[in-house]
Every structure is written in C-alpha cells, then in structure tokens.
C-alpha cells in the first residue's frame, strides 16, 4: 500500500469530471481539498457518504474548502448520481484506477472468502499548498463527514 506522508505534497493528477471537463488537482492550490475515494455510485454506503458531504458542502466552502469525489465509475454514471442525489461538487472518473493506485486505495479486498482488487473507501485532506494534512483509510461512513469537517475547522 502506498503511504502518503503527512505534511508532504500529494501526487497531482488529471481526471475527467462530471462537468464534462478535465480536472487537475493542482488547479485547486489556494483552497483546501477534501478528496474522497468511494467504491461505487448509487450503492447504499456511497450514497450516504456522498449525501453527508453534500450536506456539509456549504460549511466546507465557507472554510475555503472544496470537495472532490473519485470512484471507478464513468462520467455518465457520475452525472446520473449527481442528478439523483443533488450533489453540488464534482465527481471524478478514475476508470483505470491509476489515481487510486497513486493514493494507495486500490487494494486487495476480501468478501465471503473471495479475494479481489478494489477501491478502499478513503478520504484525504489537502491544504492550500497541496500538502497532505490528514488521511482516513478504510472509512466507516457513520460520523465520517463530521470528523473531516472538524479537521477542516482546525486549518
């Protein structure tokens, strides 16, 4: 698993976004970024997590912080997810899991004795200079957004 050192710059990347454009992480320098990786659009836990971030979005924006979600889904899938759940932030399509690998969230998973590679739900808080402030790996959705919000408030 790739370990990203706290206080060091995070890997930059460019991915297709739900707005139909290419988004580059470094374009957000000057703002804090909550970068959350989630397994799949329109699944129970991912809906809950995304809606929790949606509900915290205004407060995050007031704290100079943008939210970006990343999954393996296509841009079209992201657009449908945003429309159904009224998500106010961009979702990025990492269909080849290259960024997931950069951030160490593409890992061996086990389910009912079966092993497979998959995206492990994780969140990274990046400061205005592009440095990692905090990370949450193997996230449990309940209460997670509040933890992230409290960390943002400390910046």
**51 labelled catalytic:** no
Average pLDDT score over residue span 48-69: 97
- The position carrying tokens 């995070």 is 10
Using CA atoms, how far apart are residues 21 and 66, in angstroms rounded to an integer?
17
pLDDT tens figures, 60-92: 999 999 999 999 999 999 999 999 999 999 999
Query: Sorting pLDDT into bands at 50, 70 and 90, what band is 3?
Result: confident
Catalytic residue, chosen from 25, 34, 35, 46, is 46
pTM of this structure: 0.94
In whole angstroms, how large is the CA radius of gyration of the chain? Answer: 14
Query: Sorting pLDDT into bands at 50, 70 and 90, what band is 2?
Result: low
Furthest C-alpha separation in the chain = 45
Query: Sorting pLDDT into bands at 50, 70 and 90, what band is 5?
Result: confident
Burial 38-53 (b: 16+ CB within 10 A, else e): bbbbeeeebbebbebb
């Amino acid at each position: 698993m790739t370990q990203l050192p706290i206080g060091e710059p995070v890997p930059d990347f460019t991915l297709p976004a739900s707005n139909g454009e290419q988004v580059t992480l470094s374009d957000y320098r000057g703002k804090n970024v909550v970068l959350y990786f989630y397994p799949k659009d329109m699944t129970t836990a991912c809906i809950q997590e995304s809606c929790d971030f949606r509900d915290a979005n205004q407060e995050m924006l007031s704290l100079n912080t943008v939210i970006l979600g990343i999954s393996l889904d296509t841009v079209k899938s992201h657009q449908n997810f945003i429309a159904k759940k009224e998500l106010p932030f961009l979702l990025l399509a990492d269909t080849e899991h290259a960024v997931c690998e950069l951030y160490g969230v593409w890992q061996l998973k086990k389910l009912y004795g079966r092993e497979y590679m998959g995206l492990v739900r994780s969140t990274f808080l990046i400061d205005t200079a592009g440095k990692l402030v905090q990370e949450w790996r193997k996230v449990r959705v309940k209460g997670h957004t509040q933890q992230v919000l409290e960390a943002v408030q400390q910046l």
